[in-house]
Structure 1
Amino acid sequence: MTASWEELAANKKRAQAESIPKEWLINTPPDSQLNVSKVPLECGLLSEREVEITELKDVDVLLQRLAASDYSAVEVTTAFYKRAIVAHQLTNCLTEIFIDRALAWARELDESLKKNGKPKGPLHGLPISLKDQLCIEGLDTTMGYISWIGKPASKNAVLVDILLEAGAVPFVRTNVPQTLMWPETFNLIFGRTTNPYNRSLTSGGSSGGEGALIALGGSILGVGSDVGGSVRIPAAFNGLYGLRPSYNRIPYQDAVNSMEGQESIYSVFGPLSPRMSGIKAFTKAVIDSEPWRRDPVAIRKAWDEKAYQLEEHGNGQNLVFGILWDDDWVVPHPPVKRALQRTKDALLKAGHKTVDWKALKHGDIYAVGGAIWAADGGKDFDTTCAPTGEPLISTMLPSSTEDTPEPPAFRQRAKKTAYELWQIHKQKRALRKEYLDSWEATKSVTGTGRPIDAIISPVAPWAPPPHGKNTSAAYTLIWNTLDYAACVFPVTTVNPAIDVVAPPHDFKNKDDQATYELYDPEVFKGAPVGLQVVGRPQEEEAVIALTEIVAAALKGLPE
């Protein structure tokens, strides 16, 4: 007798629970304790040395200590694994748990270092968490679909092989929403991932498991993916850094995905980390591996050190940033506005300049992106769910008693013929040309002889909202559609004493009004607020360097 989808999901979840060593279970706080960010340090599971290891936030420092044998790869992997399991018990952030395999990889690295006297590669001994898309031979990659349970991968994704060869230790995979096409994280196998700073709020999506895990110190470097904001939203909502590279800079070969064959707005893999050192270390290591030799669509573009040194951007001196205060569609909440102002103040104090950036046809660009995603009429999702009869999730709300909002544009079904889709592609190219011209035209206002060096933009109009309320990815989708590289950086947290409700304004549309009405300072209290540095296509090195400059400027500005 064929098992029902409910039985398949329950069996998979049970197997996950059984893969956790009993001695790593903790007394979890009650659901009423919303902020669990300090629990990993207070639960008593980690030894003093394991706390020391996992409290390191700088990837470069950890790599130096591993290379010098101050720490072994086995003890670092064990420490982060234990803390990851604690994070999972608090926020439900993991999917696949494979302790024995990870420790075996770590032991091989320790033996290699002892034998050869040098690290295996640039990421030697570094535990790295992976979104549940990156296939590892012999493990399921369900991506939130019950239909993909019991179908272990026959080989690693190319990116996994590259990371292993660089000396990294993949050690957990992290939770995602069914279909990936949600800016929140919930599926019918593993359930909902929550935000460690306030478990009544979302951790974002679709890389929400990565965001929650890294925020709790259960990983120092993770890999997410981003087709409309799925790296940047979890990074911002969890107080992290996160890079959205341009199309095909990081290899995607042999990973799984939604809407495969949709190649107008590519999904891209990108890193999340508590410090920029992790973002740079990952990106450089992967690019230095020459991924174009293994992935036929990976761009043949080596790491550009001159770009990282900002040769085209005044060598990092007297930079000019455009500030996108709103997208002319939805006005951001008070804490997001404060984050923008704080970043502007920090840049001015550091000797740089800002100009206001006016949104150019963002509504049109959003519509184009949504139309491309919906062009199959939802057939990809339906086809994947069909074998087990699992329902297609239609809302991220935790209770069916709540009013279900209208599906966001990226969830709506609007089937197009091939010819109709081509016309949308033509429109997208025309919009990209208009945006390019607009950027170039800023030469007349910067005073440097060059256009603005980057844009500072919200990641969302709000800090992480309650579950089911993160109904827009507009502030991130814009840059996916234009293919602009973008990197998130943390700025502040919501402070009800400062971030009071603003007086009503003339609402631009119903989305703007709904956004205004969503804000309650007490609901969002303590939630992280991040922004993004936006550069131009294939400008990852410069965007990393520019984000480092912005982060340093913010550290120099007192609260």
Structure 2
Amino acid sequence: MWPFTPQWQVLSEAKRAHRDNALLTTLQSVENKQEFLRATTSQIVANIDSGKWTASQVVAAFISQAIVAQKQTNCLTEILFEDALEQAQLLDAEFAATKQLRGPLHGVPVSIKDQFHIAGYDSSIGNSDRLNKPASQDADLVALLKSAGAIIIVKTNVPQTMFSFECCNPVWGRTTNPYNSNYTCGGSSGGEAALLALDGSALGVGSDIGGSLRYPAAFCGIYALKPGPSRISYAGTAGKFSQLHCDAAVYILLQVTVPGYNGVASVAGPMARTIDDLEIFCRLALGVPGRSLDLAPLLYREPKMPSRLRFGYYTDAYYKGSPAVKRAVMETVVALRAQGHECVEIEVPTPSEAFDVYVAISSADGYRTLLEGGVGNDPLDSSLLVIANGPNFPRFLRNFVAWAMGFFLGDTKLSSAIYSAGTKPVAELWKWLDRRDKYNTKFYAEVWDKHQLDGIIAPVQPMPQIVNDTFRKLFSLASGSTLYNVVNSPAGCVPVTKVDAAKDALTEEWTKAPTTSLVQRSLYQGRSPMYDPVKMAGMPISIQVVGRKWEEEKVLAMMRVVDEALGPRGFGPGSLSCRD
């Protein structure tokens, strides 16, 4: 090793070598591997219960596929193969002796986002300062999954600071999209989504404070549920800034968090290949007491569903949705109407206000605590350049840039967001928190109550997919998902269709539409717009299904209604890894 090699690099290279060595498993080839990979969580448990399969066979099949997924996308961090195989053997012996399943996830291979503690393993979250410091205790969710018979096989990659909808850090590198390596898998639960899309795990756990469950699920064509705060325990996650009010944090990252921050709640949630699998997780985890003192005592409740649901929908909010995203929303609307459900077009009230609130509150300390805890001595990932520098400009300079952007360039949205960003005295922060609460009230009055809705069908963001290393230019696209963190609505992600170069081509509605938005111009106009349906062809397009506060169970039921209305369309277990 060169004597002047930085310590972070030495530590990171050693850690990656340790992971790569752990991937060199001596497993024999698995017969009928695709049969295991095509099985849902409930099918896995049923086949073990009937004696057709053993937990050891199932775990071996998914370990084999996790190795394939790692080679294709670089999605793994901690490798638990030896422990997983040993646990599977113990479950098999227990079942042979008792003929009783350990629980509803008996023998199911599960993956966990890197931030959740597993005793004996690191939770580095892509920071070299956290390497070689294994957790002493399982996170609440990890303990709960184990008690239900789940077998954890790996932990998965996250972006540096977990404050990005990409997935890259100096320790583990970049995780890419399983459909196209030139595109991001999403963040911050990106490793989970890439692994699940390739059937390297049967069920996963992630978290969300601004889209961290929904972006990866959307980009990788899987399902996810962001619950509202206080429904699932978040205790036992990485970082000295870990546990906030309502187990909270801030944006796609403040998930490693900031002590005392209670502006927007970070929540844990499931990621899966089917809605059935999401429901099994939620029946297990919702409202189950743990170390968190802020958990609402609400166990899973059977939702009361009207025979005819009333959905609101929209295709444009902060930015104009792309042709592909608009098609996904409208195909969903058509499918729901064909099943007898009512769909009415709605408008999001002042979406720029919701994004300004998010930016203002999350940047109240200039993201300093976030960067200190998530970057440390490591080099800063390029995706974080705007976050690291913009809010810390002197206020007079930042205000001048915001004014010039609005006055000379006409981009009032970005101008307003820049005005909102930056360090704030306590009194100013209180005013923003009050604006957050007032926006919540307005949203419920002007959307839920005015239209008497059961649910909302919405884009995840204007673009169906994002090229690697563009977050720093497109961070404001997160406005499509942060909205539902600001208003604390449960929101699920459902894959709808795939990009079609012909159906989703740009027309004059996009290329020549007058706009003052610099970002919107970069998406759809000029010689090389970022939206390119030819390059994105065959990649997933997803939607959000949103519900009222405390109605996670109803959101799951509405996701199922949407899923069944759309019918078979090339998503789910085996759809990517087992295709011909």
Q: TM-score, normalised to structure 1's length?
A: 0.87
Tell whether 2:426 aligns with 1:427: no
Q: Distance in 2 between matches of 1:234 and 1:194?
A: 11
Q: Secondary structure at the match of 1:172?
A: strand
Q: Which amino acid aligns with 2:422?
A: A
Q: Which amino acid aligns with 1:326?
A: D
- Check the 8 A contact 1:381/1:392 in 2, yes or no: no
Q: CA deviation at 1:508?
A: 4.9
Q: Which amino acid aligns with 1:502?
A: T
- Check the 8 A contact 2:164/2:383 in 1, yes or no: no
Tell whether 2:549 aligns with 1:537: yes
Q: Distance in 1 between matches of 2:429 and 2:257?
A: 15
Q: Which amino acid aligns with 1:72?
A: T
- What residue number does 1:182 align with? 164
- What residue number does 1:454 align with? 455
Task: Spell out, residue by residue over 1:303-322, the C-alpha distance to the aligned partner (whole angstroms, 9 max, x if none).
Answer: 111x2x42xxx2xx111110
Q: Distance in 2 between matches of 1:498 and 1:396?
A: 34
Task: Spell out, residue by residue over 1:234-267, the C-alpha distance to the aligned partner (whole angstroms, 9 max, x if none).
Answer: 1111111110000021111111242233222111
Tell whether 2:532 aligns with 1:520: yes
Q: Secondary structure at the match of 1:518?
A: coil
- Check the 8 A contact 1:243/1:270 in 2, yes or no: yes
| Consecutive unaligned residues in structure 1, runs of 5 or more | 25-44, 398-405, 444-450
- What residue number does 1:37 align with? none
Tell whether 2:492 aligns with 1:487: yes
Q: Which amino acid aligns with 1:14?
A: A
**Which among 314, 326, 332 is matched to residue 316 of structure 2?**
326
- What residue number does 2:78 align with? 96
**Which among 18, 22, 29 is matched to residue 21 of structure 2?**
18
- Check the 8 A contact 1:458/1:531 in 2, yes or no: yes
- What residue number does 1:303 align with? 300
Q: Distance in 1 between matches of 2:36 and 2:516?
A: 49
Q: Secondary structure at the match of 2:542?
A: strand
Q: CA deviation at 1:531?
A: 0.3
Q: Secondary structure at the match of 1:156?
A: coil
- What residue number does 1:65 align with? 47
Task: Spell out, residue by residue over 1:457-494, the C-alpha distance to the aligned partner (whole angstroms, 9 max, x if none).
Answer: 00111111210234221111100111100111111111
Q: Which amino acid aligns with 1:122?
A: P
Q: Distance in 1 between matches of 2:479 and 2:29?
A: 40
- What residue number does 2:268 align with? 269
Q: Which structure 2 residues correspond to residues 12-91 of structure 1 after superposition, within 5 A?
A: 12-21=15-24, 47-56=30-39, 58-91=40-73
Q: Distance in 2 between matches of 1:171 and 1:62?
A: 16
Q: Which structure 2 residues correspond to residues 153-168 of structure 1 after superposition, within 5 A?
A: 153-168=135-150
Q: Distance in 2 between matches of 1:98 and 1:301?
A: 32
Q: Which amino acid aligns with 2:219?
A: F
- Check the 8 A contact 1:125/1:168 in 2, yes or no: yes
Q: CA deviation at 1:439?
A: 2.8
- Check the 8 A contact 1:456/1:531 in 2, yes or no: yes
- What residue number does 1:9 align with? 12
Q: CA deviation at 1:548?
A: 0.1
**Which among 474, 482, 487 is matched to residue 477 of structure 1?**
482
Q: Secondary structure at the match of 1:119?
A: coil
- What residue number does 2:283 align with? 284
Q: CA deviation at 1:512?
A: 2.0
Q: CA deviation at 1:381?
A: 3.2
- What residue number does 1:402 align with? none
Q: CA deviation at 1:53?
A: 0.4
Q: Which structure 2 residues correspond to residues 148-297 of structure 1 after superposition, within 5 A?
A: 148-256=130-238, 257-261=255-259, 262-287=261-286, 291-297=288-294
Q: Secondary structure at the match of 2:328?
A: helix
CA RMSD of aligned residues (A): 2.3
Task: Spell out, residue by residue over 1:420-467, the C-alpha distance to the aligned partner (whole angstroms, 9 max, x if none).
Answer: 211111110000001111134435xxxxxxx11100000111111210
Q: Distance in 2 between matches of 1:143 and 1:557?
A: 34
Amino-acid identity (%): 34
Tell whether 2:504 aligns with 1:499: yes
Distance change (3 Å), C-alpha of 1:53 and 1:134: same
Q: Distance in 1 between matches of 2:105 and 2:99?
A: 15
Q: Secondary structure at the match of 1:296?
A: coil
Q: Secondary structure at the match of 2:182?
A: strand
Q: Distance in 2 between matches of 1:139 and 1:293?
A: 21
Q: CA deviation at 1:396?
A: 7.2
Q: CA deviation at 1:394?
A: 3.4
Q: Which amino acid aligns with 1:553?
A: A
Q: Which amino acid aligns with 2:489?
A: Y
Q: Distance in 2 between matches of 1:371 and 1:68?
A: 55
- What residue number does 1:42 align with? none
